[in-house]
Amino acid sequence: MVAGHSNHRATAATSEQSPKTAVLACLAAGGPSNSKLLHSASRAAREQNGGFYAVVVSPRARFGKMELRTLVDDTVLASRLGAKILWLDASDVTGGLLRLADQFHIGRIFVLRHQPTPLSWLLGRTVYSGLLSRAEGIRVDVVGFERGN
């Protein structure tokens, strides 16, 4: 574990009839740990000998110029690490991720835990908490944020 980062894992029983060996990395605009997330997910995909996907999660808002540039850089890195790039534009991000997991036989999802904003409680449940509570048969790895000094 890297100082300043936290990894939480949740695992539910998987079905033996259909092995879910693919790995999904969820990229978020402005995610300060996207690089760490991608490297961890890539390593997991190689260990599981499964497919590797990176999904760009698009909130229904405009990206700032800097966020867009960082997101493009992150998708280029994902591609270089062997990921197939997917785009998700959904009002229910957690539900969309779970549908992708079912469609592509994903057994493990890597997602960022962002530093909460002052009004984040108004927006409801976070993506990582939604995945941890709703993902059946899928391991969820939550990569934490770095805290400033």
Tell me, what's the pLDDT at 29? 73
Domain assignment of residue 39, yes or no: yes
Q: Which residues contact 86 (CB under 8 A, 6 or more apart)?
A: 53, 54, 55, 56, 100
Asked whether residue 113 is assigned to any structural domain, the reply reads: yes
pLDDT at 18: 53
Determine, yes or no, domain membership for 14: no
Quick one: average pLDDT of 10-29? Answer: 68
**pLDDT tens digits for 61-72?**
556 666 778 888
3-class secondary-structure state, position 141: strand
Residue 16 lies in a domain: no
Q: Is pLDDT at 12 greater than 50 in this prediction?
A: no
On whether the CB atoms of residues 137 and 107 are closer than 8 A, the answer is: yes
CATH number of the domain residue 103 falls in: 3.40.50.620
Q: Is residue 124 part of a domain?
A: yes
77 belongs to a structural domain: yes
For residue 7, is it within any domain?
A: no
Give the domain extent around 58.
24-143
- CA-to-CA distance for 50 and 23, rounded, in angstroms? 7
Considering the domain boundaries, does residue 1 fall inside one? no
Domain count, the chain: 1
- Which is more confidently placed, 80 or 121? 80
Which 8-state DSSP code applies to residue 121? G
Q: What is the pLDDT of residues 41-61, one digit of tens each?
A: 999 999 999 999 999 876 555
pLDDT band at 124 (very low <50, low <70, confident <90, very high): low
Q: What is the pLDDT of residue 122?
A: 43
Is pTM beyond 0.85? Reply is no
